[in-house]
Copies of this chain bind each other. A is one copy, B any other.
Amino acid sequence: MIEADPTLPVIRTSRDFAATPEQLFRAHTDPELFARWVGPDTTATRIEHWDASTGGSWRYASTHDGTEYRFRGCFHDVRPDRIVQTFTFEGDPDGVALETLWFEDLGDGRTRLRTQSLVDSFESRDAWLRSGMEVGVNDGYAKLERMIIDGAV
């Protein structure tokens, strides 16, 4: 589920996984695991910098059809139940999103992953939605589900 808030420049996603909060936290903080699932099926991700701790930062490059796209940000908060980080696509260096991820324990080994991306204008938010982010989110989470089934996380 991906939805745009009508009154806030926010994009929210929600997806339930057959995994514990600890597994999803690991999939978002371990750089080798993260690089394996993030983004569309057609891209490959290389981590360039990774310090997934409160006050740390990150940078990675995604390659699609021979072109590299770089993303970077800092980790405001890395807690077992929540990650807050900033996000910039370096092709648009003035654009910044504040991203929050919640790992909500549903019991029975299931976890709801909710995310929120906050930007400072509705125009930027709508441009993100039009950029094909839905493919990246859906492909990525499908890869993550297969990694969970395979016992890789």
- Does any Cβ of B come within 8 Å of A74's Cβ? yes
Type the 1/0 row for A108-124, where 1 means its CB is closer than 8 Å to any CB of B.
00000000101011000
Residues of B within 8 A of A86 (CB): 74, 76, 84, 86, 98
Closest chain B residue to A79 by CB distance? B93
A96 within 8 A of B: yes
Interface string of A31-65 (1 = CB under 8 A from B): 00000000000000000010000111100000000
Q: Is A140 an interface residue (CB 8 A)?
A: no
One complex includes copies of this chain to the number of: 2
A75 within 8 A of B: yes
Residues in A93-149 with C-beta less than 8 Å from chain B: 94, 96, 98, 100, 116, 118, 120-121
- For the complex, count residues of A whose C-beta is within 8 A of B: 26
Interface residues of A (CB under 8 A from B): 8-10, 49, 54-57, 72-77, 82, 84, 86, 88, 94, 96, 98, 100, 116, 118, 120-121
Check B84 against A57 for contact (C-beta < 8 Å): no
Out of B9, B75, B88, B100, name the residue touching A74 (CB < 8 Å).
Answer: B75
